[in-house]
Every structure is written in C-alpha cells, then in structure tokens.
Structure 1
Amino acid sequence: MKRLLFLFSTLLLFGFAGMRGAGAVEITVLYPQPYLYQAPVEEIVKAFAAKRPDIQVKLLAPTKAYEETASAVLRGAVTGSMPDIAFNGTNLMHLFVDRKLAVPLDGFVAKEADWEKQGYVPGMISTGLVNGKLYGMPFALSTPILYFNADLLRKAGGDPALPPKTWPELLALARRVTDAASNTHGAYMVWTTTGNYLWQELLFTHDGQMLSTDGKKVGFDTPAGLKTFEILRDLVKEGGMPNLTDEQATQAFIAGQIGFYMSSSARVNSFTNKIGSRFELGTAPFPSPRPDSKIVSGGATMMIFAKDLAKQAAAWEFIKFAAGPIGQTIMVRHIGYMPSNQIAIDTPELLGNYYANNPNMRTAISQRARTTAWLGFPGENSLKAIQVIYDVMESVVAGKATPEDALKRSVTQVQALLPK
C-alpha cells in the first residue's frame, strides 16, 4: 500500500510539474565565450527559474566570441531561427538595429513603475543606447586593467604598491623582468581580444578617434593611430612580449613566466583561483599617458530578438533579472566584470563585503569615472573591418610590418569597407 501511495504521489507530482511546464513560456538564450560566461549564466538561469517558474529558459550552444554570436543572429534572421535573447558585444549592437532585428526596450522600461528604484546604474545602462533608443541591458561590462606578478616586479626593482602607470615605466620594468635563461617574459598584451577591444584602448587613451563625426571616414590616420602600433612593436622589442596565442600567454602568466599581463578585468577571479599561492597577484589601472586618459568600457549586453509578444515579455523579465542585484552578484562572483546594479554594490551580503575583501576586484571600478564606449565599425562590413585590424596587429607583433606600414594598410583597407 505504501508503495502504491508513493507511486501515486510521484505521478501526481510529475503530472503537476508537467502542467506547469506546459503553461510556461519558453525563451532561448545565446551567449559567447563559455570559458567566461557559462558558469554565471547557468547559475542565473537556475535562480531565475526559482523566481519565475512560469518562464522556461533554454540555453543554446555557446559561441566562441561576440563576432560569432553576431554572425549566428544574422544567419538566424535569414533562416527564421534567431534566439529570443542574445548576449552581444556592445560594439556590435548597431548591426542588429540597422537591420531592424533588435527589439527596442524603451517601452518595457516605461511600464516599470519603480524603475529608478531597481538599482540600474544610468551610466552603464546608457551603453545599450543606439540612436537614442535602448536596445541592450548590460550584463557584464569591463575595463582593461594591468595584471602583474608582484614577485617578479620586486625582483626587477619595482614596488608592488606603486605599479607602473605609463608605458615608459612599464617597458623599463618589463626589460628587467625579461630573462631568456629562466624563460621569463616582461609583458604581454592580449591584442587579439574580441572587437579590437585593446587596440581601441590604445587609441582612445592617446586621445585618438576611430571614425570621423559622420562615420564615413577613418579617424585613426593620426599620431594616436600610429601610437597603437608603436606600442605593440615596443612591447615585443623592449618589453619581451612573446609571440604567443592568448591561451598560451595566459598559461604562461599563471605559471609565473610573465611579469605584466594586460587584458580585460574579466579575468580577475579566474587568475586569482588558478594562481593561488604560486605568486602574489596584483592589479592596477591600464597604462596611460595621463591619469585622466579615456578607458574603454565594453562587454556583453543582452538584446531581445523574439518576435512573439509573450516571448518578448518573458525575455524582458529574464534580462532584467540578469542585470538586477541577484544576477549581477552571481556574475561578479564568477568573473571580474563591473556590476551594473548599484543595489548589488551597496548591499554588504551581495557585493559590498566582497569588494572590501578583494582589492584586486576594485581596480576596474576605480576607472569607471573615465570610461568611454567600446565602438564598432558601421555598415555591413563591420566584422570584416575588425578582422583587418586583427591582421595588421599580427603583422606588427610578428615583426613583418613597421608601425608606419601597419597604419597605412589598416587605414586604406578599413576605409574601403566603410559605408559610402
């Protein structure tokens, strides 16, 4: 009898669960870079399910990078298989707005009676604006920072409490860190970062521009544009930067073989966990000519592509949750991006105590006041223009092109790809 009662109650349980599932709205979500986003996104989906069992979130197979996510969305527009939500790079939002694929979010915001009390930081929400309308909710925004091996810095005669602030300071220390006998390299910059992220950082920090005001002409045919390639050359020739892939250089830094490593603040938690007690890890602001130089802020923004109104409403609830206090706390505790929700930052049990106890995590936030937008090239050839910059940077790092040649080639090729 007990077994029959157990089976009957089990059938009832699964029957009711099936009924709930049958009435739920299902939405699909596509995200990139699983090495960064998989763990936090999956945890956020579970937390959201506990709050909203009436909405089922189906995660699609992640892509390698933002450009691949963008390509997948554009292909889906042709085949009728776009995801309901996609985590896109903030620099690529215009691709979907120009094609009228993205759903504007202003109408959803207008219906939120207590929007200003939900903690969303206005400056960071503004990264989702295109042509004055809101198309993206920020999920994970970062700034470039300098990671350093404090042990190697001390051996080079430096002080971890006073890490290098400018390129001359960094290169001088990197020269002293470089040691062929111990296979130790002075510095490495992840110049392959998606969307020319760090190339833009080098450009903007030297007061350069990507484009003319009307977006029809290249804007980096300037001394600032030349400086981006000169720094790459100097990192190789003076700073001992090895010609390694991002993955290889990351492993070398974790192993204690690179003194200075420049990348997005997204890697703070990963480095902290993987380095452990191998050496003392430090972080500092990205090298700049001046303390007030611009810092590029970019990352993942959540965009809605659902056509069905019920799915749009469900998608809005999910991205609002992911950008809210709980979602942002989960994101930050997994990776090193900046939170876009002030409630999460101010609440001790969420992120307040976390930042107090993790000084390396505070570096990105310390640069927030001087951030500028991560940009994309306009028009249908945006992804091709990004690839041009990748290829030219590679030629400089490999010693196959001078900075002058690299600038001339990039200007000519990108100009040919811009809208006429």
Structure 2
Amino acid sequence: MKRMRSILLALTSIVATVKAAAAVEISVLYPQPYLYQAPIEEIVKKFAEKRPDIQIKLLAPTKNYEEAASAVLRSAIAGGMPDVVFNGTNLMHLFVDRKLAVSLDGFVGAEKEWNKQGYVPGMVSTGVVNGQLYGLPFALSTPIMYVNVDLLKRAGGSPDALPQTWPAVLDLAQKITNKEAGIDGSYLLWTTTGNYLWQELLFTHGGEMVSSDGKSVGFDTPAGLKTFEVLHDLVTQGGMENLTDEQATQAFIAGRIGLFFCSSARVNSFTKQIGNRFELRTAPFPSPMPDSKVVSGGATMMIFAKDAEKQAAAWEFIKFAAGPVGQTIMVRHIGYMPSNRIAIDTPEMLGNFYRDNPNMRTAITQLPRATRWLGFPGSNSLKAIQVIYDGMESVVAGRVAPKEALDRSATQIQALLPK
C-alpha cells in the first residue's frame, strides 16, 4: 500500500512537471509599482487559477510610463522585448510607428460574442492608433480635486459648495494657507507622468498640443499661457510649495495641504492612508468652462510577442485583466475607472462598491467630457515631454515668468516635431 502511494505521488509529480513544461510563459512589464503592483499580482494569481497552461513572468517594474517606453525601445534594439507591456496611452504611437506593437484586431475578430463580454467601446477606443486597435485599457483615470474638509471648514468654506474655477480655488486656498502652522492652501501634482496635469490645464482652457498635421506646436496661445499662469498663481497666491511628488503626497496625507490636484488613481490610496485623520472629499477638476474637455489616460496593455503561441497567450492574459474579474480587482486596489460594463453593473463586483464609496464616483461623472491623453508626435516624444516638465519646474521654482516658460517650451518642442 505504501509502495502504491509512493508510485501515485511520483506520477502526480511527473504529470505536474509535464504540465508546467508545456505551459506557455509570457513576460509582462509594468510601471508605477506603488499603484500597479498589488492589483497586477492579484490578477496574475486569479488568471493562473483559470489558465494554468499560461505562466506569467512579471519583470521588474519601472518608475513611470516613460521609463517603460524607453525599456521597450532599448530591448527592441538589443533583443528580448517583453511579451506584454502596460504602456501609457499617450505613448502608444512610439511603438506603432516603429512597427513593434501587435495589432489586436485579429484577436477581437476571432472572439465569439465580443460585444457581450462587457468591454466599454468608448474606453477600448483609447487603444486605437491609425485606425487599428493596439491596446486594451487596464486603468484609466481623470484628474480630480481632493479636499481636506477639516481645513476647508476652518477657512470658512463649505464642502457642499466646492470651488469649480481657478479664481475660486485661489481665493479658498489663500484662506486655508497658514505658513506659521505649516499649512499650505493647495498643491497641483505637475510632475505627473506624461505631462498629464499640464494637458488637463491646456484642454480645460480650450487649447491644443499640436496642429492637425502634427508639425507645429499648438499651445503657443493664450490657453497655453494659462497652463503656466495657473502654476504661478498657485505658488504666489495659493500657498503651493515646490515639493516633490512624495513630499506633497505625504504632506496632504498628514493634513497639511487643503486642496490637492492629481489623478483619480489615488482615491483608494489616500482614503486608506488618511483614515480618520480628517474628512476627505473629491470634486471635479476646476475649469473656466463647464463643458471643457477632461483628459482621460492611464495604462493600456500592448502585445509585443513575436511568436504566435505567445501572442495568443498574451491576448488571453490582457483580455482577462480588462475583463470583469481583472477590472474589479484593479478598482478595489486603486482609483482608476473600470473599462468593463459587467464589473460596473454587477453588485457584488463594483456596483455596491461605487454605492458605498462616493469619492470614487467623481472621476466617472467627468467621463462625458473625456478626451484622450496625448503624446507629442514623432520619435522625439519623450524629449518633448521633458521640455514641458522643465518649463513647469522653472515656473514653480520662481526662476522664470509664465510667458517666458511658454515661449521657451514652444520653441524647443517645435524643433523636436516631425518636419
């Protein structure tokens, strides 16, 4: 009997080894581990339960989308590109133009009843480049305003009448600011990857990044000037300090900043870290026009595998991550918007979650005004992003006036655009 048990155990081990050997392994690269690590690891675990024939190898994450893009471009030259990459939606053209990314149209066409799997068409469309689908949305967000209600009330404000325009924001921020007590009225996270908040300021003021043919800067306008003026005014009137992302985040969590402007991706993180320290509210991003455009961007999943078997396995993984289970996991970990209708409508998935978490609903209310998160065209896109960063930093640090920052940025980026 003991011998029979040993034989069975040995056979079981052999079968498991054979199955593991037969499994297709795909490598996956993602950025911003402070946001994505927990949900992606849980999704990988759930996916393994459903598809043990596909093994997911998570590569060391990068700091941001730009670093992920650079890693892909380097590996395209040296060899060994990741099979799946979570890229910023604003950088997709870099890989499409170089013919590195795999079109997903064929996979979608082969799916039975694709339209019944819950993928929201408008959000899926963010993965379209040059008329073809190259990415499935994993996590999309809109910029919002986070409010320390305790500081707001002390300044005489009302949580039921939050500021909707920048003049109103500056007025309230001035009242909240108390430098002697270490309280800053406001902070706008201008360092966000891909000039995300700069684009939001530009689009809400009716501006454009580039001309329709992509060969000329489009922000050398009053709307473009406003992007730098808002930053300048937040520093000079709104009590904003020149802090790093980490410093500003910790200051807000500690209750030392009244109004904080950044992506809705941080709702869950802020809620958990703030706890009972103060009452947190979220509100739409300020705008001079109620119907202005709101930037919707985030991570899209792209396939770079060249082997057909790996491509098929990669498709199964990104489809799962964008599906009801994957999107439920993602939203419960971070504050991005789900791209799957089944997850949104099912009570035990996200239906009850949104009912019980009103701060999470703010981003979704802005969806009717959503516009795409863009990248500068051409091969110098990453350099152009850095130019905008440098311009914003020079204004926040008080080294140059908004007009000079605008002129310098426009001149430098014009030289980087396709001729």
The residue type equivalent to 2:392 in the other structure is M
- 2:275 corresponds to: 276
**Deviations 1:348-404, CA, capped at 9 Å, x for gaps:** 000000000000000010100100000001111110000000001000000001001
- 1:377 corresponds to: 376
| CA distance in structure 2 between the partners assigned to 1:332 and 1:20 by the alignment | 33
Shift of 1:14: 2.7
Matches within 5 A, 1:20-419: 20-419=19-418
Query: 3-state SS of the aligned residue for 2:247?
Result: helix
Shift of 1:10: 4.0
- 2:11 corresponds to: 12
Shift of 1:15: 2.1
Which stretch shifts more, 7-16 or 127-136?
7-16
**Deviations 1:195-241, CA, capped at 9 Å, x for gaps:** 00000000000000000000000000100000000000000000000
| CA distance in structure 1 between the partners assigned to 2:7 and 2:178 by the alignment | 72
The residue type equivalent to 1:106 in the other structure is D
Q: Percent identity?
A: 74
Measured at CA, do residues 395 and 12 of structure 1 come closer, stay the same or move farther in structure 2, by a change above 3 Å? same
**Deviations 1:80-118, CA, capped at 9 Å, x for gaps:** 110000000000000000000000000100011210000
Shift of 1:5: 6.1
TM-score of the pair, normalised by structure 1: 0.98
Query: 3-state SS of the aligned residue for 2:215?
Result: coil
| CA distance in structure 1 between the partners assigned to 2:4 and 2:335 by the alignment | 50
Which stretch shifts more, 282-291 or 226-235?
282-291
Query: 3-state SS of the aligned residue for 1:355?
Result: helix
Measured at CA, do residues 22 and 292 of structure 1 come closer, stay the same or move farther in structure 2, by a change above 3 Å? same
| CA distance in structure 2 between the partners assigned to 1:342 and 1:373 by the alignment | 20
Query: 3-state SS of the aligned residue for 1:250?
Result: helix
Query: 3-state SS of the aligned residue for 1:314?
Result: helix
The residue type equivalent to 2:187 in the other structure is Y
Query: 3-state SS of the aligned residue for 2:162?
Result: coil
| CA distance in structure 2 between the partners assigned to 1:7 and 1:390 by the alignment | 64
Shift of 1:7: 5.0
| CA distance in structure 1 between the partners assigned to 2:39 and 2:250 by the alignment | 22
TM-score of the pair, normalised by structure 2: 0.99
| CA distance in structure 2 between the partners assigned to 1:18 and 1:291 by the alignment | 60
**Deviations 1:155-198, CA, capped at 9 Å, x for gaps:** 11111122111111111110011001110000000000000000
| CA distance in structure 1 between the partners assigned to 2:240 and 2:377 by the alignment | 32
**Deviations 1:251-284, CA, capped at 9 Å, x for gaps:** 0000000000000000000000000000001000
| CA distance in structure 2 between the partners assigned to 1:61 and 1:53 by the alignment | 22
Query: 3-state SS of the aligned residue for 2:242?
Result: coil
| CA distance in structure 2 between the partners assigned to 1:374 and 1:252 by the alignment | 28
Q: For structure 1, list consecutive stretches of 5 or more residues without a partner in the other structure.
A: none
Give the count of matched residue pairs: 419
| CA distance in structure 2 between the partners assigned to 1:177 and 1:140 by the alignment | 33
Shift of 1:19: 1.2
The residue type equivalent to 1:112 in the other structure is E
Query: 3-state SS of the aligned residue for 1:187?
Result: strand
| CA distance in structure 2 between the partners assigned to 1:355 and 1:18 by the alignment | 43
| CA distance in structure 1 between the partners assigned to 2:335 and 2:367 by the alignment | 14
Query: 3-state SS of the aligned residue for 2:331?
Result: helix
| CA distance in structure 1 between the partners assigned to 2:218 and 2:365 by the alignment | 29
| CA distance in structure 1 between the partners assigned to 2:30 and 2:6 by the alignment | 40
The residue type equivalent to 1:197 in the other structure is Y
Shift of 1:293: 1.1
Shift of 1:11: 3.3
| CA distance in structure 2 between the partners assigned to 1:241 and 1:288 by the alignment | 19
Query: 3-state SS of the aligned residue for 2:207?
Result: coil
Q: For structure 2, list consecutive stretches of 5 or more residues without a partner in the other structure.
A: none
Query: 3-state SS of the aligned residue for 2:297?
Result: strand
| CA distance in structure 2 between the partners assigned to 1:282 and 1:15 by the alignment | 56
Shift of 1:13: 3.1
| CA distance in structure 2 between the partners assigned to 1:134 and 1:67 by the alignment | 21
The residue type equivalent to 2:13 in the other structure is F
